Amino acid sequence: MIQNKIVESSFRDPSGFLFMEEGRLLRQVNPVYADDYDFLMGSGLYEKLVENKLMVPHREISGHPGCTQPVYKVIEPETIEFISYPYEWSFSQLKDAALTTLMIQKIALEHGMTLKDSSAYNLQFRNGTPVFIDTLSFEIYHEGTPWAAYGQFCQHFLAPLALMSYTDIRLNQLLKIHLDGIPLDLAGRLLPFKTRLRFSLLMHIHLHAKARKKYEHKGSASKTVRIKRSNLFALIDVLISAVKKLEPGKRDTEWGKYYSFTNYSDSSFSHKRELLEGFLKQTGTRTLWDLGANSGEFTQVAAQSGIDCIAFDIDPVAVETYYNHIKQEKITNVLPLIMDLTNPSPSTGWNNEERLSFSQRPRPDTILALALVHHLAISNNLPLARIAEFLSGLCQNLIIEFVPKTDSQVRKLLESRKDVFPGYDEENFGKEFSAFFTIIAKERIRDSERILYLMKKNR
Amino acid sequence: MIINNILLYIDPGTGSIILQAIVAAVAGVTVFIKFGWRSVLRFFGIKKGDKKDP
């Protein structure tokens, strides 16, 4: 076993683990999982899932370099460039991941296998859609066996979706605290009474929570439970229908209709687009993070030039809007994610290593920060020097917009508070950022007071 | 024992198993009735064959 190279998200499963070997991500299959692995590969299930783009493909590696512990196989799965987590997904992203899980379980049952867990962390977004990444999650199905992962499915998917739908769309953030899904009794307490009148939520969440409490210390009762295969299929069908019926909760956010309230004229909007296109060409950008992307109006400029983009925004409604857009338009090179830049995703889980923090993940060539700096500097009291330092830790190129105090959006931010930002002006902005970046180009956006900068990180 | 193999990895939870058995049985009956009802409708020519999922 190669202790020091194990990927920290995969150590819980006795079937195998992920490790890094000379820059390659590999997965060891332990001898205990041999029968299940052979069944997965031989039953046609693997082909079916890969063919339908529901699971990442892998190839078997001959020889087991560096492995000292008994090994059955070493496989090299197709890698996902950017790992994201359920607490960073919008409602529909989590919903699509839930439906993908159920679809996989249904296909697995048809092939005589079953999912032994249904963690939301087993899915990632690839080319715009969710894909299953844990090849070792399948085990041979024995007639009459209940679905061991049913409870986990309700915690990881149904409970957060119901909470986002019926209580508040921001409640996906509970997943950040509860890494094994939202406890059903907690979900039950937070959901409004009317959810008890919906049969699916009454059963899968409210009564489920009660049943768990009742049988908390009575392990033996479950050994006698048998469920017919046809009823398991029916269970998957009712779960699919329960998930499909859930819709995102309505909430008027400050950002939801941002683009109808901006102070841009059509001409400054198109000038900003032109400048951005030029800067992107000049930098030869291949990967980009758009920070404060809103619903992706400018991320699309980069995406249309074939750049792989991740669009971060604090607002779950904006991320939801953009995800639905990329889904509808079949855009494959953009991943919209929820992120509060003033409190980005931390590293969490066992030993603080299971889930990566925002800054631990692969960084982009270029960062786009449009209409962002005034929110950080004025709404969040962040000194310009700190913002510059933070951004310089993330990228090589920076395309950033400076919004001066005279801009109506900034005036609005200052209306209700004392102006304690004497250093917030164009000159200081240039000075503070020059400590970390070299300013390559600087253009005033037509018919506005805003300035768009192209900067390169100092060596 | 039916449950032995699934105790290997995650704890399925006794309450979850029992609740699941009830929900699955209800769902099974519902699907059976739905299927039966559709067959009756089809027999009388009221409803044509099921639409395929996209």
* Tens-place pLDDT, residues A325-382: 999 999 999 999 999 999 999 999 999 999 999 999 999 999 999 999 999 999 999 9
Strands (E), A88-226: 113-115, 123-126, 129-132, 138-140
Residue where a domain terminates, one of A219, A245, A271: A245
User: Does A256 score more than 60 pLDDT?
Assistant: no
CA angle, residues A39, A40, A41, in degrees to nearest 5: 90
Domain shared by A22 and A157, yes or no: no
Q: Quick one: average pLDDT of A47-63?
A: 95
| A263 shares its domain with A234 | no
Q: pLDDT at residue A221 above 80? A: no
Domain count, chain A: 3
A93 and A132 together in one domain: yes
A114, A370, A379, A407, A447 from A262: Cα distances, Å: 51, 13, 17, 11, 13
> Tokens in use for A439?
């300013």
Looking at every residue in chain A, the average pLDDT score rounds to 92
Using CB atoms, pick whichever of A142, A219, A235 lies closest to residue B23: A235
pLDDT digits (tens, 9 = 90+) for A278-318: 999 999 999 999 999 999 999 999 999 999 999 999 999 99
Among A222, A245, A268, residue at a domain's last position: A245
Using CA coordinates, name the residue in chain A closest to B29: A231
Is the same domain home to A284 and A363?
yes
Nearest Cβ partner for B5 among A139, A149, A214: A139
Q: Write down the pLDDT at residue A123.
A: 98
CATH number of domain containing A374: 3.40.50.150
Q: Give the residue carrying structure tokens 């998930």.
A: A243
Cα A311 to Cα A112: distance, rounded to the nearest angstrom: 40
Note whether A172 and A289 are same-domain residues.
no
Per DSSP, the three-state class of A454 is strand
Does A251 reside within a domain? Answer: no
Q: Are residues A275 and A375 in the same domain?
A: yes
CA distance A91 to A86: 10
Same domain, A122 and A170: yes
pLDDT category at B1 given cuts 50, 70, 90 is very low
Residue A453 has a pLDDT of 98
Do A359 and A447 share a structural domain? yes
Number of Cβ within 10 Å of residue A233's Cβ equals 17
Tell me if chain A has a CB within 8 Å of the CB of B33: no
In a domain, A250, yes or no: no
Same domain as A193, residue A281: no
In the three-class reduction of DSSP (H, G, I as helix; E, B as strand; rest coil), residue A402 is classed as: strand
pLDDT at A258 over 80: no
pLDDT digits (tens, 9 = 90+) for A310-327: 999 999 999 999 999 999
- Domain with A149 in it: 86-245
Contact residues, chain A, for B13 at CB < 8 Å: 151, 212, 215
Test mutation, A198, A220, A225, chain B, max B CBs within 10 A? A225
- Does residue A355 lie in a domain region? yes
* pLDDT band (50, 70, 90) for residue B3: very low
In a domain, A253, yes or no: no
* Nearest residue, CB atoms, B28 vs list A207, A218, A231: A231
Integer CA distances (angstroms), A226 to A139, A147, A165, in order: 17, 10, 33
Token pair recorded at residue A140: 């041979």
Distance from CA of A407 to the nearest CA of B (A): 50
Interface list for chain A against chain B, based on CB atoms closer than 8 Å: 13-15, 116-117, 139, 142, 144-152, 154, 203-204, 207-208, 210-216, 218-219, 221-223, 225-228, 230-235, 237-238
pLDDT in tens, A404-459: 999 988 999 898 888 888 899 999 999 999 999 999 999 999 999 999 999 999 98
Do A11 and A97 fall into the same domain? no
pLDDT at A420: 83
Asked if residue A187 and residue A267 are part of one domain, the reply reads no
- Tell me the per-residue pLDDT of B25-40, one tens digit each, with 9 for 90 and over: 999 998 888 888 888 8
Cβ B2–A223 below 8 Å, yes or no?
yes
Task: Look at residues A44, A77, A110 and tell me which one is the last residue of a structural domain.
Answer: A77
Would A222 be classed as within a structural domain? yes
Helix ranges restricted to H, A329-417: 373-374, 384-392, 408-415
CA dihedral in degrees (A16, A20, A22, A28; nearest 10)? 0
Residue A266 located in a structural domain: yes
Structural domain contains residue A123: yes
**A252 is a domain residue:** no
At A102, list the tokens: 């159920």
Is pLDDT larger for residue A221 or for residue B4? A221
pLDDT surpassing 70 at residue A3:
no
Residue A201 and residue A302 share a domain: no
